[in-house]
């Protein structure tokens, strides 16, 4: 795909995807959703040279200011459902990727932008960022998974408050309620997030992928089944070269070199 609204940069094990529609505050329209879905899908199935961590951020003043209201306003019910389905497919691609995706929230993350962030494994925000689900102000509800992922992230009571009032949060308040993982000065955000990404990239990639899968699956099943999934996955990893290397490196007091095998 010829990307019109994405800038993709590979630097060693880290791939940074920048949503680049700054004149529209990176608002999500059908084209941008399709491009990002394609990019994540391609990275997800790049078995030879795939990234170990992906950083997702936005150009200009916003991470994603929301859906593109100018295009959404004229949609009928069928078109709106298809638009929501496209947003859900995008978030599914992020969640199902074997590598962690870190949201570097450089500005507004409202509506669909907050939902996109919620699909990421980790989220760090600039101290000037604003986050929230203001869809009720437009007479609708979150459509890209916000009613479900937000409640799982911050609890049902707080999710109700945020969705019912439509009020945005400061970065510090978002951190306090557990919506994001950390807050940094705006000019340091990407460098700090990259440091975190590099730390994760230095670990066993098979273990990271397995942990991501078990954490995600385990939240939707009862505890005994989730624990059995953990036991099985733990055992499977002992058949990997990475496990042999990691434990040998520990015993030999050296840094492990993981190959994802």
161 catalytic, yes or no? no
Helix axes 30-44, 77-96, angle to 10 degrees: 30
CA distance linking residue 253 with residue 246, whole number of Å: 10
Q: What is the DSSP letter of 188?
A: G
Catalytic residue, candidates 35, 85, 115, 252: 115
Whole-angstrom CA distances from 135 to 69, 76, 118, 127, 164 are 11, 17, 16, 23, 9
Q: Are 154 and 177 in contact (CB under 8 A)?
A: yes
CA distance linking residue 217 with residue 109, whole number of Å: 26
Catalytic residue, candidates 135, 173, 228, 252: 135
- Tokens standing for 13? 């094990």
Which phi and psi angles does 17 have, rounded to 5°? -110, 120
135 catalytic, yes or no? yes
Catalytic residue annotation: 115, 135
């Amino acid at each position: 795909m010829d990307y019109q609204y994405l800038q993709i940069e590979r630097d060693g094990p880290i791939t940074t995807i920048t949503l680049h529609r700054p004149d529209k505050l990176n608002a999500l329209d059908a084209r941008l959703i399709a491009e990002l879905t394609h990019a994540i899908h391609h990275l997800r199935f790049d078995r030879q040279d795939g990234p170990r961590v992906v950083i997702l951020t936005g150009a200009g003043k916003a991470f994603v200011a929301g859906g593109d209201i100018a295009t959404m306003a004229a949609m009928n019910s069928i078109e709106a459902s298809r638009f929501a389905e496209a947003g859900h497919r995008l978030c599914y691609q992020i969640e199902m990727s074997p590598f962690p995706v870190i949201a570097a929230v450089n500005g507004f993350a409202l509506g669909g932008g907050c939902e996109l962030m919620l699909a990421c494994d980790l989220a760090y925000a600039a101290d000037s960022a604003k986050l929230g689900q203001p869809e009720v102000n437009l007479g609708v509800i979150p459509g890209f998974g916000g009613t479900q992922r937000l409640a799982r992230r911050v609890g049902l009571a707080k999710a109700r408050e945020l969705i019912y009032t439509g009020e945005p949060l400061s970065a510090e308040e978002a951190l306090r309620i557990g919506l994001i993982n950390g807050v940094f000065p705006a000019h340091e955000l990407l460098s700090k997030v990259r440091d975190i990404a590099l730390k994760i990239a230095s670990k066993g990639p098979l273990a990271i992928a397995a942990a991501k899968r078990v954490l995600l699956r385990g939240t939707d099943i009862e505890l005994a089944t989730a624990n059995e999934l953990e036991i099985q996955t733990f055992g499977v990893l002992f058949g990997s070269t990475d496990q042999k290397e990691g434990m040998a490196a520990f015993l030999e007091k050296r840094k492990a070199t993981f190959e994802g095998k």
